[in-house]
DNA sequence: TTCCGAACTTAGGAGTTGTGCG
DNA sequence: CGCACAACTCCTAAGTTCGGAA
């Protein structure tokens, strides 16, 4: 594999990941401190990115919130910071950044206006914090307004507003200030200035880190790493290299660790690929100014066009725009009207109102309430499958021999293969074609949450300083909050308000009469009690723990498995979710609401027609029992906070899940066969006369190159996060030139789970021009791609390849990247630990591409300090040794060598730990990387599979372990 | 034909367990 | 031998996509 070259190709434009180096992420460590910190000042809650922690704390302080909150800080803060808090601010910030100060003002203004429109509701919330909302929201608002009407929605709206607020406030740390000012928190301006670079942190949400600076990295080479990490990490790859000099990039890679890699190759590669870079690490990205994430290679190729086009461009574009009436933004259709606001202009005339697709936003659904509806019943399809007939013998699974095609008849008796016992080698059987998922299914039903146990009488709830006895239901609600007293959530106003509202609902009339002010509630004693209980549990004797463990196992044995088509399979989540407080991520408008206890009468059971129906708890009945073999769930219920259906399904090791997973990767491999054509097509479409086609082509380019998510529209009662199709004007900044790169697009937006995505990407000129066009006459809350949404995009993709959807690109680019990085980084003659390092780097490259982040472990800072201490001590030892060393002293010489070696190791560890601080490798390994690539790599390089996959992963990927040989290639 | 909800995948954090170290 | 930290498991929120209802 080493030949990297072959590999690269990957995307045409896309990504490539890091070349060699790229992979590494870099150290972020540093980052935090840097930037953000300063910004932190902003009081706003949001967190600034990096340092978040600190900030968080700050916030906490600031925030008044309930008394309770007091403590929380610590732990969570950071994490939260990243996500949650940041969110709000972030958005704004983004904008801020872009516009920065001046603009801000405008915005705010505008926003305000919008708000106004929105209406009342918003105002309220806003008041609290933010003010402005962004235009986008405006749209939403509009929608909402329409929908909801002004009234009630307030909350929601409010939520929306809140978002706005948040955004505003948060806005970047610094910049945001403007907005912030209003917002309560807002801090003032800190440095608003920070221009682009600063990070924009969304305050809340992203908290991440700061960029690391490159600093540390040991070697110079490091830079490269950093770069990569930062931004692209790889970006480097292409672009960077070039720009920077290819060498650099490439080289580093290892260097960090030391090796050098193939610079050359990389460079070449880089050309080919575009890079993807991604990431946001918060940290990184920011810093990385240097590198150019993408490569521009294409440009060259397309350059020609551009040139021509350029001239025309304007014209063309213009024309196009005008022309396209068709263009009307999708939204329009839905539109709400409100549209008026926008100046619209340019883009489409048509659109005048154009409401882009969005318009439609839905208001949330009140559905929740409706739960009743459940139509469910209908489905029951019991399709009689032949198989049915038999009831399955529950016998266990047999291990079947491997006969391929065997009919599904499962049961054969086990032959003697003992193998791993009951492994069901479904991958050796034929797949079922139709939508039928199983023939027979029997299970014991879900395990209910333990019933509430009252706290001892001496553990009291205080109201206004006086102990107050609570009814059972009220007390339970109080304990939900008490258990979280030290969590950051408790410092959030939305959380506290939502909780108190629901808390009051659970009270008896008399209690309700008394408890009217949340600030007078004191949960401290309860909190202390739970802490003590927790300690007690930890301190329990071995016997006690063992007993508990056994009980648990017994439960798992009884309810944790089901019989499906004659095989015993593990259930993924056989316990119903216990009641508690809803913990939404980011600035979720519903955080803090009480998730109520689920009763048998809330649960629908799905099982085989001829199987034994699980028995509900004595005295109760299931809401429904159905026999639908076209779905895979065993039980379902509607969760009250968001009104969505929750399910009990099988474990990832099951056939049902594994088969689907296999299909997913096969689809991605099919994409590999047509990717060149697709890339050529979308490039071509950048010149289309139709605005919608251009938008679609540019969006697809981002999805391919940056591995962005599709980006569905969201309701207002959810956190404001976006994906590719839902990007708004404020999430993107265009720079003709930035840090030595041309045509740079800076993405900064809250993605899934409110994780910040920050990336400075060098794009082809034509893309850049198109973006300018798309943004013309739009304001902050407007959709960047107003004629596009995920349905439209996926419909188009379906025409390009069967089964192709936006998410396939993520899977494809992730797996492709792993394959190419492994080829590039693995030295066949290296030792196993070295190979593992290479594997982890390849994995890291993917994680960066996909922007998989994690909060910095709470103990990270401390552990880094410890490590630094050790390094320092080691250095001193070396110095001492050196001073005592006289050239002929062999002993000393050896000792010196040894010490230097140890130092190197420690430094390596430091880098590695720091680099991984904000990067989560598990998500990509579990969901995006074709396991066969890893299996083949292990087989080829004699690396035990256990080194790569832990036990859970091995069971999930058992099919891959059996299917792939060392020659497998994605 | 659009709209909407059901179904299923992807995601990070909390909590628990394992483990190497001093 | 307890500790610090990493590894892993569990949990459930938050996405995407599909297909059926209206």
- Comparing A717 with A871, the larger pLDDT belongs to A717
Of the candidates A135, A336, A91, the one whose C-alpha atom is nearest the C-alpha of residue A778 is A135
pLDDT digits (tens, 9 = 90+) for A127-165: 333 333 333 333 333 343 333 333 333 333 333 333 333
- Calculate the angstrom distance between C1' of C3 and CA of A685: 60
Q: For residue A649, say whether its CB is under 7 Å from any atom of strand B.
A: yes
Alpha helices in A42-176 (DSSP H): 52-62, 74-82, 84-118, 120-128, 135-148, 154-170
Residue A377: CB atoms within 10 A of its CB come to 12
CB A34 within 8 A of CB A50: yes
Query: In this predicted structure, which of A220-224, A754-758, A822-826 has the lowest mean pLDDT?
Result: A220-224
Of the candidates A280, A175, A568, the one whose C-alpha atom is nearest the C-alpha of residue A410 is A568
**A582 CA: nearest nucleotide by C1':** C13
Q: At A762, is the secondary structure helix, strand, or coil? A: strand
In chain A, residues 410 through 469 whose Cβ sits under 7 angstroms from any atom of nucleic acid strand B? 437
- The residues, ordered by sequence, that sit 6+ positions from A958 with a Cβ below 8 Å of its Cβ are A423, A653, A658
Most confident among A91-105, A358-372, A762-776, A884-898 (mean pLDDT) = A762-776
Q: For residue A664, say whether its CB is under 7 Å from any atom of strand B.
A: yes
The dihedral sign for the CA sequence A867, A869, A870, A875: positive
* Mean per-residue pLDDT over chain A, rounded: 67
Instruction: Give buried/exposed letters for A717-738 (b at 16+ CB in 10 A, else e).
Output: bbbbbbbbbbbbbbbbbbbeeb
**A310 burial level (CB within 10 Å; 0-12, 13-18, 19+):** middle
Pairing of strands A561-564, A604-606: unpaired
- The residues, ordered by sequence, that sit 6+ positions from A827 with a Cβ below 8 Å of its Cβ are A2, A259, A834, A835, A838
Report pLDDT for A680.
96
CB A321 within 8 A of CB A690: no
Across the range A17-36, mean pLDDT stands at 34
CB A111 within 8 A of CB A138: yes
For residue A236, the 8-state DSSP code is: I
- Calculate the angstrom distance between C1' of B9 and CA of A658: 12
> Left (φ > 0), alpha (ψ -120 to 50) or beta: where does A132 sit?
beta
- Calculate the angstrom distance between C1' of C6 and CA of A332: 52
pLDDT digits (tens, 9 = 90+) for A796-806: 999 999 999 99
Q: At A646, is the secondary structure helix, strand, or coil? A: strand
Query: In this predicted structure, which of A156-165, A348-357, A450-459, A576-585 has the lowest mean pLDDT?
Result: A156-165
Q: Which nucleotides in chain C have some atom under 7 angstroms from a protein Cβ?
A: 4-19, 21
HSE (side-chain half, CA atoms, 13 Å) at A365: 12
Complete edge-to-edge strand list for the sheet that includes strand A741-750: A732-738, A741-750, A756-762
Report pLDDT for A548.
86
Q: For residue A567, say whether its CB is under 7 Å from any atom of strand B.
A: no
Q: How far apart are CA A734 and CA A97, in angstroms?
A: 11
- The residues, ordered by sequence, that sit 6+ positions from A446 with a Cβ below 8 Å of its Cβ are A559, A574, A575, A576, A603, A634, A635, A648
What angle, rounded to 10 degrees, do the helices at A84-118 and A74-82 form?
60
- The residues, ordered by sequence, that sit 6+ positions from A559 with a Cβ below 8 Å of its Cβ are A443, A444, A445, A446, A447, A571, A574
Q: How far apart are CA A399 and CA A417, in angstroms?
A: 7
Report pLDDT for A880.
76
Across the range A57-70, mean pLDDT stands at 34
Asked if residue A237 has pLDDT above 90, the reply is no
Across the range A398-425, mean pLDDT stands at 46
- The residues, ordered by sequence, that sit 6+ positions from A460 with a Cβ below 8 Å of its Cβ are A467, A468, A469, A525, A526
Report pLDDT for A816.
96
Residues A877, A883, A884, CA angle at the centre, nearest 5°?
Answer: 90
The dihedral sign for the CA sequence A961, A815, A918, A581: negative
CB A691 within 8 A of CB A777: no
Q: At A282, is the secondary structure helix, strand, or coil? A: helix
Q: How far apart are CA A942 and CA A938, in angstroms?
A: 6
- Calculate the angstrom distance between C1' of B5 and CA of A374: 10
DSSP code string of A11-69: -SSS-----TGGGS----THHHHHHHHHHHT--SSS--STTHHHHHHHHHHH----SGG
Whole-angstrom Cα Rg for chain A: 29
**A87 burial level (CB within 10 Å; 0-12, 13-18, 19+):** buried
Q: Which nucleotides in chain B have some atom under 7 angstroms from a protein Cβ?
A: 2-14, 16-17
In chain A, residues 48 through 87 whose Cβ sits under 7 angstroms from any atom of nucleic acid strand B? 75-76, 79-80, 82-83
The dihedral sign for the CA sequence A603, A604, A605, A610: positive
pLDDT digits (tens, 9 = 90+) for A670-710: 999 999 999 999 999 999 998 999 999 999 999 999 999 99
Report pLDDT for A329.
59
In chain A, residues 797 through 836 whose Cβ sits under 7 angstroms from any atom of nucleic acid strand B? 807, 810-811
Asked if residue A454 has pLDDT above 90, the reply is yes
pLDDT digits (tens, 9 = 90+) for A511-569: 999 999 999 999 999 999 999 998 888 887 778 888 888 888 899 999 999 999 999 99
Q: At A606, is the secondary structure helix, strand, or coil? A: strand
In chain A, residues 471 through 510 whose Cβ sits under 7 angstroms from any atom of nucleic acid strand B? 487
Q: How far apart are CA A275 and CA A292, in angstroms?
A: 9
**A82 burial level (CB within 10 Å; 0-12, 13-18, 19+):** buried
- Give me the residue spans of the domains in chain A: 813-963
Local confidence band at A330 (pLDDT 50, 70, 90 cut-offs):
low
The dihedral sign for the CA sequence A503, A508, A509, A513: negative
Q: How far apart are CA A516 and CA A522, in angstroms?
A: 13
Report pLDDT for A328.
56
Query: Nearest protein residue to B6's C1' (by CA)?
Result: A645
Q: For residue A645, say whether its CB is under 7 Å from any atom of strand B.
A: yes
Which CATH number, 3.50.50.60, 3.30.465.10, 1.10.132.10, 3.30.365.10, labels domain A813-963?
1.10.132.10
Local confidence band at A883 (pLDDT 50, 70, 90 cut-offs):
confident
- The residues, ordered by sequence, that sit 6+ positions from A466 with a Cβ below 8 Å of its Cβ are none
Report pLDDT for A141.
38
β-bridge partners, A853: A919
Residue A317: CB atoms within 10 A of its CB come to 23
Query: Nearest protein residue to C9's C1' (by CA)?
Result: A952
At A853, give phi and psi (nearest 5°). -120, 170
Across the range A224-239, mean pLDDT stands at 33
Report pLDDT for A431.
80
- Calculate the angstrom distance between C1' of C16 and CA of A711: 9
Q: How far apart are CA A897 and CA A901, in angstroms?
A: 6
Element (H, E) at A480: helix A472-482
In angstroms, what CA-CA distances link A783 with A300, A778, A780, A911? 30, 8, 8, 40
- Calculate the angstrom distance between C1' of B19 and CA of A107: 54
Q: How far apart are CA A229 and CA A853, in angstroms?
A: 12
In chain A, residues 844 through 903 whose Cβ sits under 7 angstroms from any atom of nucleic acid strand B? 850-855
**A924 CA: nearest nucleotide by C1':** B10
Asked if residue A752 has pLDDT above 70, the reply is yes
- Calculate the angstrom distance between C1' of C15 and CA of A359: 21
- Calculate the angstrom distance between C1' of B6 and CA of A661: 20
Across the range A194-211, mean pLDDT stands at 34
Residues A285, A754, A773, CA angle at the centre, nearest 5°?
Answer: 65
Report pLDDT for A876.
77
Of the candidates A378, A386, A384, A421, the one whose C-alpha atom is nearest the C-alpha of residue A407 is A386
Residue A570: CB atoms within 10 A of its CB come to 15
Asked if residue A382 has pLDDT above 70, the reply is no
The rounded percent of chain A whose pLDDT value lies above 70 is 56
Here the tokens at position A284 are: 């990184």
Of A529, A812, A928, A968, the catalytic one is A928
Report pLDDT for A421.
58
- Comparing A926 with A882, the larger pLDDT belongs to A926
**A581 CA: nearest nucleotide by C1':** C12
Report pLDDT for A90.
37
Here the tokens at position A516 are: 């009217």
Known catalytic residue at A928: yes
Report pLDDT for A127.
32
Across the range A737-753, mean pLDDT stands at 95
For residue A614, the 8-state DSSP code is: P
Across the range A388-407, mean pLDDT stands at 35
Query: In this predicted structure, which of A81-95, A632-646, A673-687 has the lowest mean pLDDT?
Result: A81-95
Across the range A259-278, mean pLDDT stands at 37
- Comparing A818 with A900, the larger pLDDT belongs to A818
């Amino acid at each position: 594999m080493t030949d990297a070259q072959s590999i690269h190709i990957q995307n045409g434009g896309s990504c490539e990941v890091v070349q060699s180096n790229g992979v590494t992420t870099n150290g972020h460590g540093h980052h935090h401190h840097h930037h953000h910190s300063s910004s932190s000042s902003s009081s706003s809650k949001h967190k600034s990115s990096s340092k978040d922690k600190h900030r968080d704390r700050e916030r906490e302080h600031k925030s008044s919130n309930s008394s309770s909150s007091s403590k929380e800080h610590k732990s969570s803060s950071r994490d939260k910071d990243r996500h949650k808090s940041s969110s709000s601010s972030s958005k704004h910030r983004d904008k801020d950044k872009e516009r920065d100060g001046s603009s801000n003002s405008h915005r705010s203004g505008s926003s305000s206006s919008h708000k106004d429109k929105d209406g009342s509701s918003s105002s309220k919330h806003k008041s609290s914090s933010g003010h402005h909302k962004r235009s986008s929201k405006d749209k939403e608002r509009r929608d909402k307004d329409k929908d909801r009407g002004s009234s009630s929605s307030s909350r929601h709206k409010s939520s929306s507003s809140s978002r706005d607020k948040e955004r505003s406030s948060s806005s970047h740390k610094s910049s945001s200030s403007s907005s912030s000012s209003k917002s309560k928190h807002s801090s003032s301006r800190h440095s608003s200035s920070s221009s682009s670079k600063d990070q924009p942190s969304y305050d809340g949400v992203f908290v991440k880190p700061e960029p690391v600076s490159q600093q540390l990295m040991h070697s110079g080479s490091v830079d490269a790493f950093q770069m990569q990490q930062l931004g692209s990490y790889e970006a480097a790859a292409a672009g960077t290299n070039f720009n920077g000099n290819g060498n650099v990039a490439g080289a580093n890679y290892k260097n960090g660790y030391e090796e050098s890699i193939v610079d050359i190759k990389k460079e070449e590669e880089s050309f080919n690929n575009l890079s993807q870079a991604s990431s946001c690490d918060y940290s990184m990205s920011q810093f990385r100014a240097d590198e150019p994430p993408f490569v521009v290679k294409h440009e060259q190729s397309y350059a020609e066009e551009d040139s021509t086009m350029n001239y025309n461009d304007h014209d063309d574009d213009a024309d196009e725009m005008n022309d396209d009436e068709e263009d009307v933004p999708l939204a329009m259709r839905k539109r709400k009207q409100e549209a008026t606001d926008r100046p619209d202009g340019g883009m489409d005339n048509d659109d005048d109102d154009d409401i882009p697709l969005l318009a439609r936003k839905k208001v949330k659904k009140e559905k929740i309430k409706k739960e009743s509806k459940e139509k469910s019943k209908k489905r029951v399809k019991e399709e009689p499958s032949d198989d049915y007939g038999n009831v399955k013998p529950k016998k266990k699974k047999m291990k079947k021999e491997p006969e391929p095609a065997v009919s599904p008849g499962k049961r054969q008796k086990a032959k003697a293969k003992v193998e791993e016992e009951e492994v069901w080698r479904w991958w050796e059987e034929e797949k079922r074609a139709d939508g039928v998922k199983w023939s027979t299914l029997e299970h014991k039903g879900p395990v209910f949450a333990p019933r509430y146990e009252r706290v001892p009488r001496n553990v009291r709830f205080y109201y206004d300083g006086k102990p107050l006895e609570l009814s059972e239901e009220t007390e339970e609600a109080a304990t939900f909050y008490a258990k979280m007293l030290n969590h950051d959530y408790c410092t959030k106003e939305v959380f506290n308000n939502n909780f108190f509202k629901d808390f009051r609902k659970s009270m008896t009339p008399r209690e309700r009469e008394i408890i009217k002010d949340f600030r007078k509630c004191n949960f401290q004693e309860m909190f202390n009690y739970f802490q003590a209980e927790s300690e007690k549990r930890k301190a329990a004797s071995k016997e006690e723990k063992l007993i508990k463990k056994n009980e648990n196992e017994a439960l798992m044995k009884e309810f944790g498995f089901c019989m499906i088509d004659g095989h015993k399979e593990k259930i993924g989540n056989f316990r119903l979710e216990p009641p508690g407080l809803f913990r939404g991520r980011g600035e979720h408008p519903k955080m803090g609401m009480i998730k109520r206890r689920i009763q048998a009468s809330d649960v629908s059971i799905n099982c085989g027609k001829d199987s034994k129906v699980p028995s509900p708890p004595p005295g109760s009945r299931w809401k429904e029992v159905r026999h639908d073999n076209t779905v895979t769930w065993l039980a379902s219920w509607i969760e009250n906070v968001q009104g969505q259906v929750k399910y009990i399904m099988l474990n990832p090791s099951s056939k049902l899940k594994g088969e689907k997973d296999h299909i997913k990767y096969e689809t991605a491999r099919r994409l590999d066969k047509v990717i060149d054509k697709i890339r050529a097509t979308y490039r071509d479409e950048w010149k289309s006369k139709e605005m919608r086609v251009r938008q679609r082509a540019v969006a697809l380019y981002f999805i391919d190159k940056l591995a962005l998510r599709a980006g569905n529209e969201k309701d207002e009662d959810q956190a404001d996060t976006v994906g590719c199709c839902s990007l708004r004007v404020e999430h993107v900044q265009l720079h003709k030139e930035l840090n030595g790169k041309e045509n740079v697009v800076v993405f900064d937006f809250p993605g899934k789970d409110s994780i910040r995505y920050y990336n400075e990407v060098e794009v082809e000129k034509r893309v850049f021009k198109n973006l300018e066009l798309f943004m013309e006459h739009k304001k902050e809350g407007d959709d960047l791609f107003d004629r596009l949404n995920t349905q439209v995009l996926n419909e188009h993709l379906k025409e390009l390849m069967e089964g192709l959807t936006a998410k396939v690109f993520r899977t494809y680019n992730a797996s492709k990247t792993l394959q190419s990085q492994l080829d590039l980084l693995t030295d066949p003659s290296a030792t196993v630990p070295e190979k593992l390092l290479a594997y982890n780097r390849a994995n890291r490259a993917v994680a960066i591409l996909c922007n998989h982040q994690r909060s910095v472990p709470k103990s990270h800072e401390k552990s880094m300090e410890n490590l630094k201490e050790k390094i320092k001590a080691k250095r001193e030892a070396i110095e001492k040794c050196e001073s005592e060393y006289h050239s002929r002293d062999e002993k000393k010489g050896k000792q010196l060598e040894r010490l230097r070696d140890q130092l190197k190791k420690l430094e390596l560890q430091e880098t590695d730990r720091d680099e991984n601080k904000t990067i989560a490798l598990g998500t990509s390994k579990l969901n995006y990387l074709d396991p066969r690539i890893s299996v083949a790599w292990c087989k080829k390089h004699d690396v035990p599979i256990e080194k790569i996959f832990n036990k859970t992963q091995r069971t999930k990927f058992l099919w891959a372990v059996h299917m792939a040989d060392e020659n497998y290639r994605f």
